[in-house]
Structure 1
Amino acid sequence: MSLVCLNTITDIAAASWDALLVDHQPFIRHAFLSALEESGCIKPETGWHPQHLLWEEHGKVLAAMPGYRKNHSHGEYVFDHAWADACQRAGLPYYPKWLCAVPFSPVSGARVMGGQQAVRQLLELLPAWFEEARLHSGHINFTNSFADSLLEQQQDWLSRIGCQYHWHNRQYRDFNDFLDTLMSRKRKNMRKERQTVREEGFDFCWYQGDELTQSQWDFIYVCYANTYAVRGQRPYLNRLFFSLLAERMPAAIRVVIAQRDQKPVAMALSLVDDHTFYGRYWGCLAEFAHLHFETCFYQGMEYVMANGLSRFDAGAQGEHKLVRGFEPTLTRSWHLLRHSALHEAVADYLQQEKLAVAAWALEARQALPFHRQQP
């Protein structure tokens, strides 16, 4: 029995890694993680040093965790910058740390993969491995219920909750069927937004990953990068990542392109699995009234209904999603802080934060547009 650390996901065969997965969510698959690494989006020079952990018995991989040694906290969507700043002021080291997550992807899902007993053994070894590797903390972001149940049994791991907004398909026949569940004023506002887009002459075309030409992928990337450029930031992902993703998992990719006068002006790229539509990347070449809402939300909602999916995960943040029927959904992450004083201070903070986030999620439901509270 042994704990193995991999410095690249390609050190394990895709079949061996994917065999540990219990569902078809695309983000944790070998293809997605290897595309991040082989494109150069993830590498030590960008502050993301792959350190994936395996638990092996008799040469067979029984459990695994995707992981990264980090010297910063960018691209995580579970914000611990204040903890790092507090350590700096106190003269304590916070970095390097180890993060178990899918880079740049605030999507809850499998983080510890394998059978329950093997995963439990892997988790029990983490504190000693952190010390051996000279890591000051460990973090596991956007966990599913399987990981939560096991981490609750581990000592010293602190739980943190967050809030996202997800839309649920309650067997709606079509968009009008969904609109019928809304209060009159909200229904009229949504129809007006969609009508404005139609009157501006936009039409929308859907594509699977292998249906897109290279020129269309170039357009998609320009739009994606532009969302960062307008904020004076560099994009996390490069053009090669999109090419590798299209090559390795095209069936999971869905792209809607907004056209006007037969010219593309905006796009939204999403991923899908058997049950969920994951809205990921959006961008446009020019600003138009309500085009963002139509391309990113309404088009996706229609796709979910037409294809019998049950949920639309539109990513992190965005209280504006509430009035469009996206409901507050709690997320969870876990944190092990080796310095005892920091552990105690953060534990106290997280208890207060938990109450505040839970209260906000309850209050936010009052902003939902439905006639009555949804189940």
Structure 2
Amino acid sequence: MSSYQLRLVGDLSSIDAVEWDALGSGQAPLSHAYLAALEAAGCVGPETGWEPCHATLRNAGALVAAMPLYEKSHSYGEYVFDWAWAEAYARHGLAYYPKWLAAVPFTPIPGARVLGRDAAARQALLSAVVAMAEESGLSSLHVLFPNDTETGWMRDAGLLVRQGVQFHWLNAGYRDFDGFLASLTHDKRKKIRQERRRAAAHGLTYRWLDGTTATGADWAFFHRCYASTYALHRSTPYLNLAFFVELARRAPDGVRLLLAVRDGSPVAGAFFLCDRSALYGRYWGAVEHLPFLHFELCYYQAIDYCIASGLARFEGGAQGEHKLARGLQPVVTHSAHWIRDPRFRDAVDHFLARERAGMDFYLDELADRSPFRTASPDS
């Protein structure tokens, strides 16, 4: 570590975008544009409970590794739930918050969390961040949705690893949507066709837009839909209109907006992130209730888009067992946790062991309920 210099950066705009992205995995949410747009729009910052403290590692002045890092004063917007851990701390008169969090805010997309020129620089940054957490006096450090390589590094570094599951659609080289349907069992094909017919009966057309073709009015309409979805669940949206407009400006090729239109007027919208390998489903909403439109807009149109664009996968977001019946497959995700207090560390370790056993059983159950055929389509 003698040649490396660790620095925490509170404003991503102080780091050159080209320099940051040169370390990246190529995933849209890890881009400088995405993270900086959150800051520029005020969606993250000290007043939101997401205080940016991005970890950077430099060697002879050059940026060689980086990690999106925040000091959190709550556990909202994370998709890996540790509320029970915080309550246990509070019951014993200890402060769980603030805590360190390495994650993409409001975005449960698995991928690299430690960016770097090479493995040595990435591992050096991880070690430096763990050491910093130990010296800081804060209760814990949490790394959400790291990739498999990083998960191994974190386990070796003594972090506790937690297992989760998401549902992703994987492109097996389908020529079109019917080719995808042919890979499913008869019952699942029938169900999807019925749902698409019901959605088609609404007489809608669909428009795919990116950051260049979407207008300010399109983003304003979508944000209205997005906010209404949160209102229906008695919740407050994390993202404001300024974020979507700013992200579209900074990364026009990294966003997709799908609008459902009737007689020239939009009635629903879905927002996706996109990179060279995948489409990532994020948010949706509608100004009127139209049965089965959610499935059409958020799953079937997205799958069709991936097939037409040659994308390897569509990630449907966190949770959602109903996605299995629509051709998305269970994928194991991870998070890693460093807990300062040894008593709570042991308690969390035992909890995670029990949780893993339950998760293994759940994954076996999901495998038994696979929607895919085990024989050829012609049999």
Deviates more, 1:123-132 or 1:272-281: 123-132
Q: Any conservation in 2 of the 1:6–1:52 contact (CA below 8 Å)?
A: yes
Partner residue, 2:374 = 372
Name the SS of the counterpart of 2:64 in structure 1: strand
1:142 alignment partner, one of 134, 139, 145: 145
Q: Any conservation in 2 of the 1:324–1:368 contact (CA below 8 Å)?
A: no
Partner residue, 1:48 = 50
Tell me the TM-score normalized by structure 2. 0.95
Flag the 1:369–1:131 CA change in 2: closer, same or farther, 3 A: closer
Deviation string 1:49-74 (CA, Å, 9 cap, x unpaired) is 10011112221221111100011000
Partner residue, 2:357 = 355
Q: CA–CA distance in 1 between the matches of 2:109 and 2:375? A: 25
Partner residue, 2:283 = 281
Name the SS of the counterpart of 1:333 in structure 2: strand
1:75 alignment partner, one of 74, 77, 80: 77
**Which residue identity does 1:292 align to in structure 2?**
H
Q: CA–CA distance in 1 between the matches of 2:307 and 2:223? A: 27
Q: Any conservation in 2 of the 1:17–1:30 contact (CA below 8 Å)?
A: yes
Partner residue, 2:314 = 312
Q: CA deviation at 1:366?
A: 2.4
Name the SS of the counterpart of 2:318 in structure 1: coil
Q: Any conservation in 2 of the 1:326–1:368 contact (CA below 8 Å)?
A: no
Q: Any conservation in 2 of the 1:223–1:284 contact (CA below 8 Å)?
A: yes
**Which residue identity does 2:17 align to in structure 1?**
A
Q: CA–CA distance in 2 between the matches of 1:161 and 1:131? A: 24
Q: CA–CA distance in 2 between the matches of 1:146 and 1:371? A: 32
Q: CA deviation at 1:373?
A: 8.5
Q: CA–CA distance in 2 between the matches of 1:135 and 1:152? A: 20
Q: CA deviation at 1:128?
A: 3.1
1:300 alignment partner, one of 286, 299, 302: 302
1:267 alignment partner, one of 266, 269, 280: 269
Flag the 1:373–1:309 CA change in 2: closer, same or farther, 3 A: farther
Which consecutive unaligned segments of at least 5 residues does structure 1 have? none
Partner residue, 1:14 = 17
**Is 1:121 aligned to residue 138 of structure 2?**
no
Q: CA–CA distance in 2 between the matches of 1:31 and 1:311? A: 22
Name the SS of the counterpart of 2:284 in structure 1: strand
Deviates more, 1:330-339 or 1:253-262: 253-262
Q: CA deviation at 1:152?
A: 2.5
Q: Any conservation in 1 of the 2:279–2:306 contact (CA below 8 Å)?
A: yes
Q: CA deviation at 1:257?
A: 0.7
**Which residue identity does 1:170 align to in structure 2?**
A
Q: CA–CA distance in 2 between the matches of 1:122 and 1:263? A: 50
Q: CA–CA distance in 1 between the matches of 2:225 and 2:138? A: 38
C-alpha RMSD of matched pairs (Å): 1.4
Q: CA–CA distance in 2 between the matches of 1:352 and 1:229? A: 35
Q: CA deviation at 1:110?
A: 1.1
Question: Identity, % of aligned pairs?
Answer: 44
Partner residue, 1:84 = 86
Q: CA–CA distance in 2 between the matches of 1:119 and 1:167? A: 29
Name the SS of the counterpart of 1:34 in structure 2: helix
Q: Any conservation in 1 of the 2:210–2:248 contact (CA below 8 Å)?
A: no
2:244 alignment partner, one of 242, 245, 266: 242
1:198 alignment partner, one of 194, 197, 200: 200
Q: Any conservation in 2 of the 1:167–1:327 contact (CA below 8 Å)?
A: yes
Q: CA deviation at 1:34?
A: 0.3
Q: CA deviation at 1:101?
A: 0.2
2:156 alignment partner, one of 153, 166, 169: 153
Which consecutive unaligned segments of at least 5 residues does structure 2 have? none
Deviates more, 1:168-177 or 1:293-302: 168-177
Tell me the TM-score normalized by structure 1. 0.96
Q: CA–CA distance in 1 between the matches of 2:155 and 2:137? A: 24
Q: Kindly tell me the number of residue pairs found equivalent between the two proteins.
A: 372
Q: CA–CA distance in 2 between the matches of 1:190 and 1:66? A: 39
Partner residue, 2:67 = 65
Partner residue, 1:100 = 102
